[in-house]
Amino acid sequence: MKYAVRHTTTYTYDDAVSDSLGVAYLVPRTLPWQQVASYDVTVTPTPVDSSSDEDYYGNRVTYFQVTERHQQLVVDGVSQVESLTPVHTEEALGRAWEPLRPLREPASRGAWQATDFALASPLVEQVPAAHDYAATSLTPGRAIGEAVTDLMHRVHADFEYDKTATTVTSTVGHILEKRAGVCQDFAHLMLACLRSHGLAVRYVSGYLATTPPPGKERVVGADASHAWVEVWLGEDEWLALDPTNDQWAGDRYVTVAWGRDYGDVPPLKGVIFTEAKRSTMRVSVDVAPVPE
């Protein structure tokens, strides 16, 4: 599927901002199953300095600084992407999960690129409750594809989607206690569960193209950024699972960036210099199919 993606973030302040420094993860990755035809990131007011580079994990990052005094800042990321459904071999999906722990098998092929994602990270602590919850799915000798898919099914069934239950700073312990959250929370929970058993799992930030209800037209700007996880299957293979929607990621998913957790790859982060007391943020996301 081909998509035209637009992600616009508007910050409004009740007093002038004299300096704004930002980092944006808004450019989709080029992958074997995803090709990026074009992309652009614009900032208003015009930055005095801007650049782009790749971070440690190969994500495309945009850096900018705005020194013109302003009470509104708009960051607009647009791209044209073609996404396919990733293909996995039966051999990779059928491997027992125990040998796929890179910290225990550091000499195995591809383990070096997976090691970071098997460790605890700033937003994903390894709590005993997560280990115990995952143990039901990770039975001895079970195939990795079957085991992690079973865990995904259970998270989807046991946890309620509730935008009011958590915040961006909620811990895995809080999510387990509330039994509710949003896509970021369910991704973090999957990370904690699987990492606690030694598996390598990365947090993925991107978009999911939505389909309007029958008889309704698409509402432009009504989509949202999304989060899911990818589990290392050995060598260079990763399986993408979306616990929020209880499915493997397919051709309706657009991958922007991956990291250890949300803190590595938020769509936007930065620092401002101002005496403003209040601010608002408005986000508009649109993932529109492009006719063939």
Secondary structure element (H or E) that encloses residue 102, with its range = none
Q: Tokens in use for 162?
A: 């509730």
User: What would the CATH number be for the domain defined by 90-261?
Assistant: 3.10.620.30
Q: Which residues sit opposite 238 in a β-bridge?
A: 232
- Please name the amino acid found at residue 49: D
Q: Tell me how far apart the alpha carbons of residues 230 and 224 are, in angstroms, rounded to a whole number.
A: 20
Secondary structure element (H or E) that encloses residue 109, with its range = none
Domain ranges of the chain: 2-83+266-289, 90-261
What pLDDT, on a 0 to 100 scale, did the predictor assign at position 291? 86
User: What would the CATH number be for the domain defined by 2-83+266-289?
Assistant: 2.60.40.2250
**Same fold? 2-83+266-289, 90-261:** no
What pLDDT, on a 0 to 100 scale, did the predictor assign at position 100? 97
For 1, 3, 233, 241, 253, the CA distances from 86, given in Å and listed in that order, are 12, 17, 13, 11, 10
Ranges of the chain whose pLDDT falls below 70: 213, 215-222
- Whether omega before 289 lies within 30 degrees of 0, making that bond cis, reads no
Give CA 73 to chain center in angstroms: 24
What pLDDT, on a 0 to 100 scale, did the predictor assign at position 86? 95
What pLDDT, on a 0 to 100 scale, did the predictor assign at position 219? 56
Query: Could you tell me if 239 and 87 are in contact, meaning their C-beta atoms sit under 8 angstroms apart?
Result: no
Q: Which of 269, 224, 285, 282 is nearest to 13 (CA)?
A: 282
Q: Tell me how far apart the alpha carbons of residues 266 and 186 are, in angstroms, rounded to a whole number.
A: 16
What pLDDT, on a 0 to 100 scale, did the predictor assign at position 114? 97
What pLDDT, on a 0 to 100 scale, did the predictor assign at position 220? 59
Q: Tokens in use for 230?
A: 């990818």
